[in-house]
């Protein structure tokens, strides 16, 4: 079926808008890459655009040797891995019972969790609770308050509800209990959704900023996001290097750009492996019936 004139105009406008949106994301990223790989004199003279000038890895080398970036990187890895595992486990334990029609008061508990999406205790009461639990200046303060995302739980619950009822019945006839149904049937059939939710949680924990600023007082426990933000806001990021010869060959823009790339590299590396599950997981978990 041939597209009408109006449809062609509509598609053309969409292509233009999407292209502009893509360029608005790609061009700044290319500029950051170019700044991190360019010679200090080229950066200071404003010669760097979208392509490195006199390419060098000096900014990366001195970023790793002169700043606590590696310590912050491993802090981010710890926060992300443990936080994602804990959140996935608790979200599964919340979503699966609520997806079972025989679960008593499942509507009440679902509405109670949805209520938290609209109303919450606020920053100060949350901080007081975390403080009274003795979690201030520990990563537990990052994991516990946001252990379960209601949005992610609803996606997971909807996905579990849409699993074939025949498979569920066949497993029950074979003597499978609820735990067996979850571990042997529901989870293996839900890999796209699980990968999608894990990506949501992982990106959220990796990009943790406000919670780290509020609850973590020890700078040695800062994650990548907070450290890079401090480097961007600091006007003396280069002067912090101890070696004078190192300072002479560095620029704040180069070091900051290198830090930004190191921060986003893990997400860029993981996302392609989960991309095939991403759209499928969200769509199947969002459609009922």
Q: Which residue has the higher pLDDT, 283 or 137?
A: 137
CB 233 within 8 A of CB 213: no
How far is the CA of 59 from the CAs of 36, 44, 71, 143, 245, in angstroms?
6, 13, 18, 33, 13
Q: How many CB atoms within 10 Å of residue 230?
A: 15
178 pLDDT more than 70: yes
Which pTM value belongs to this model? 0.81
226 pLDDT more than 80: yes
DSSP 221: G
Share of the chain above pLDDT 90, in %: 12
- Across the range 255-273, mean pLDDT stands at 82
pLDDT band at 281 (very low <50, low <70, confident <90, very high): low
What is the Cα–Cα distance from 215 to 142, expressed in whole angstroms?
Answer: 8
Cβ-based neighbours of 174, under 8 Å, separated by 6 or more: none
Q: How many CB atoms within 10 Å of residue 257?
A: 25
How far is the CA of 242 from the CAs of 37, 207, 237, 246, in angstroms?
22, 29, 11, 8
Residue 137 Rama label (left phi>0; alpha psi -120 to 50; beta): left
pLDDT value for 89: 93
pLDDT band at 1 (very low <50, low <70, confident <90, very high): low
Classify the C-alpha dihedral 164-170-176-178 as positive or negative. Answer: positive
pLDDT value for 289: 44
Read off the pLDDT of residues 184-202 as tens digits, 9 standing for 90 and up: 888 888 888 888 888 889 8
Task: Compute CA 89 distance to the chain's CA centroid, rounded to the nearest angstrom.
Answer: 17
pLDDT value for 284: 53
CB 137 within 8 A of CB 215: yes
What is the Cα–Cα distance from 224 to 204, expressed in whole angstroms?
Answer: 13
Which residue in 142, 133, 122, 127 sits closest to 226, CA to CA? 142
pLDDT band at 239 (very low <50, low <70, confident <90, very high): low
- Across the range 157-167, mean pLDDT stands at 81
- Across the range 2-31, mean pLDDT stands at 87
282 pLDDT more than 70: no
pLDDT value for 16: 93
């Amino acid at each position: 079926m041939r597209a009408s004139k109006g449809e062609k105009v509509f598609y053309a406008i969409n292509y233009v808008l999407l292209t502009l949106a893509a360029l608005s994301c790609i061009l700044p990223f290319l500029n950051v890459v170019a700044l991190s790989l360019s010679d200090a004199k080229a950066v200071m003279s404003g010669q760097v655009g979208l392509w490195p000038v006199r390419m060098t890895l000096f900014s990366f080398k001195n970023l790793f040797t002169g700043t606590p970036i590696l310590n912050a990187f491993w802090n981010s890895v710890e926060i992300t891995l443990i936080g994602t595992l804990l959140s996935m486990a608790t979200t599964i334990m919340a979503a699966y019972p609520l997806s079972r029609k025989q679960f008593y008061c499942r509507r009440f508990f679902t509405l109670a969790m949805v209520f938290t999406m609209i109303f919450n205790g606020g920053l100060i009461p949350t901080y007081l609770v975390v403080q009274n639990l003795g979690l201030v200046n520990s990563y537990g303060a990052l994991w516990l308050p946001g252990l379960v995302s209601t949005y992610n739980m609803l996606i997971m619950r909807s996905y579990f509800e849409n699993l074939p009822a025949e498979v569920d019945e066949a497993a029950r006839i074979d003597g499978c209990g609820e735990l067996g149904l979850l571990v042997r049937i529901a989870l293996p059939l839900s890999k796209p959704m699980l990968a999608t939710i894990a990506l949501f949680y992982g990106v959220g924990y990796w990009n943790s900023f406000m919670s780290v600023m509020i609850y973590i007082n020890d700078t040695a426990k800062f994650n990548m996001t907070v450290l890079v933000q401090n480097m961007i806001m600091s006007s003396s990021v280069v002067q912090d290097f101890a070696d004078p010869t190192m300072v002479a060959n560095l620029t704040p823009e180069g070091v900051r750009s290198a830090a930004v790339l190191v921060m986003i590299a893990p997400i860029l590396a993981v996302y392609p492996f989960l991309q095939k599950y991403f759209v499928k997981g969200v769509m199947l978990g969002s459609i009922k019936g």
